[in-house]
Chain A
Amino acid sequence: MSDLRRQLIAVLPRLHRLAGVIVRNRQDGDDLFQKTIARVLEREDGWEPGSRLDLWAARIMKNIWLDEVRMRNRWARLVEPMPEDDLLSDEGATASDLERSTENRWLREQVEALPEEQRLAIKLVVLNELSYSEAAEILEIPEGTLTSRLARGRAALSRQIMEGRP
């Protein structure tokens, strides 16, 4: 087994988590994860030994996702969006649970409505807790650009939160 494959097994959990953060729907997240692993194995020769495999694989995942987003945008008028997983739950819930769930869903909708570049920056840094240098490497942008995207996205969310939740 190659060094890449050994290292890839070790980073599978974090790549799976990253896919779950980038994509809200669990099935889509699993699909993204599996496509990423397949692409990494296809491009094994492209990885530079000694460099961080997790960031290289995350960059591949980002590119697959952006292709997917572009494809979905083309078909958006014809395809119904998949419901979020928490809308599919049939577990019992109290009124306050439902209220909280509604608020959370509202905020996720605001995040998902951000421009993709801001949304990805927020998801990598805030939700997946990457450093700016790690996130910038995955997104293949300078750290200054990442900071700018983060700031604009989060300032927009702050305004939306102040203007009113459901």
Chain B
Amino acid sequence: MTDRIHEEIVAYLDGEMTGAARLAFETRMAGDPGLAQAADDHRDVLTQLHIAYPVPAEKRFDAAELEKLGLRDQGVVTQLAPKREARQRRRISVSLWCGAIAASLVGGLIIGRMDWWEQGLVVQQHGQLVATSRLDKALTEWADGVGSPIHIGLSFRSAKGVCRTFRIDGGYAGIGCRDGNGWTIPMLANPSSLVPASPDFRLAGSDFPASVMNEVDARIVGEPLTQREVEDLRRQAWRSQ
């Protein structure tokens, strides 16, 4: 395996490969078991790294700590939060300009790699969101109703293939749909909309917001998949018939 191939694999797994190149690479993997195995090995490295290096909790800085750091104007701290939110809202509004996906989004959604510490579970590629390593692993490997801090809700068939709902502790919820060897995220709801509308939305021990369930209703073909169907699909690498 050459250095160049390893570079292609990591760029692919990190979501840094462009749409056409990504598609071509997936085609190559489909016809080259050695390449596919090498990609799986690299995917395993990512998984093991994320387990070995748990993400530290984000530290909050009080007035005393700011003073210690030489940042003494404490009044500014309270003003920063709304300013930062305003900046984020501006970024979101710019991101939502990406037409193809914006049409499928429900209110209060966030798209793309907003900030490098806040997301990391999805990246934006040519107008669509794609699950990256940890979310990709959860959607690929976990059964319905399990997982932490990513919870898988239910799995279902849509007109375009198999999809699964997911929720992240204290964070986003959405839908992942199988696309080639990965998962596109046609819908992602931000934490403020994560209020279950009724007990009907309590699924597999996890609360999902009404916006996600409404999107499932709009996409589902037939009934949600059973655990056995999910397991069969997982064994077939999610190649839906």
Query: What is the minimal beta-carbon distance from A145 to any residue of chain B, in angstroms?
Result: 11
Residues of B within 8 A of A8 (CB): 71
For window 1-58 of A, CB contacts with B under 8 Å fall at 1, 5-6, 8-10, 12-14, 16-18, 20-21, 34, 37-38, 41, 54
Are the C-beta atoms of A129 and B80 separated by less than 8 Å? no
Contact status of A127 and B6, CB under 8 A, knowing A10-B80, A17-B56: no
Are the C-beta atoms of A9 and B71 separated by less than 8 Å? yes
Of the listed residues A111, A128, A129, the one surrounded by the most CB atoms of chain B closer than 10 A to its CB is A129
When the two chains form the complex, which single residue of A9, A21, A134, A158 contacts B41, counting CB atoms closer than 8 Å? Answer: A158
Asked if A64 CB lies within 8 Å of chain B CBs, one says no
Residues of A within 8 A of B58 (CB): 13-14, 16-17
Are the C-beta atoms of B52 and A129 separated by less than 8 Å? no
Residues of B within 8 A of A108 (CB): 52-53
Query: What is the minimal beta-carbon distance from A164 to any residue of chain B, in angstroms?
Result: 13
Are the C-beta atoms of A128 and B14 separated by less than 8 Å? no
Of the listed residues A6, A103, A105, the one surrounded by the most CB atoms of chain B closer than 10 A to its CB is A6
When the two chains form the complex, which single residue of A12, A17, A104 contacts B61, counting CB atoms closer than 8 Å? Answer: A12
Which one of A65-73, A91-99, A146-154 is at the B interface?
A146-154
Are the C-beta atoms of B16 and A129 separated by less than 8 Å? no
Looking across the interface, which residue of chain B has its beta carbon closest to that of A148?
B7
Are the C-beta atoms of B73 and A5 separated by less than 8 Å? yes
> B50-69 CB contact bits vs A (8 Å, 1 = yes)?
11110110111100001001
Query: What is the minimal beta-carbon distance from B47 to any residue of chain A, in angstroms?
Result: 10
Interface residue total, chain A, C-beta cutoff 8 A = 46
Alpha-carbon distance A54/B117, docked complex (angstroms): 11
Are the C-beta atoms of A13 and B69 separated by less than 8 Å? no
Are the C-beta atoms of A129 and B70 separated by less than 8 Å? no
Residues of A within 8 A of B115 (CB): 14
For window 84-138 of A, CB contacts with B under 8 Å fall at 103-105, 107-108, 111, 122, 125-132, 134
Contact status of A37 and B10, CB under 8 A, knowing A104-B52, A111-B49, A154-B45: no
Residues of A within 8 A of B11 (CB): 132, 147
Asked if B240 CB lies within 8 Å of chain A CBs, one says no
Of the listed residues B10, B55, B59, B132, the one surrounded by the most CB atoms of chain A closer than 10 A to its CB is B10
Are the C-beta atoms of B59 and A151 separated by less than 8 Å? no
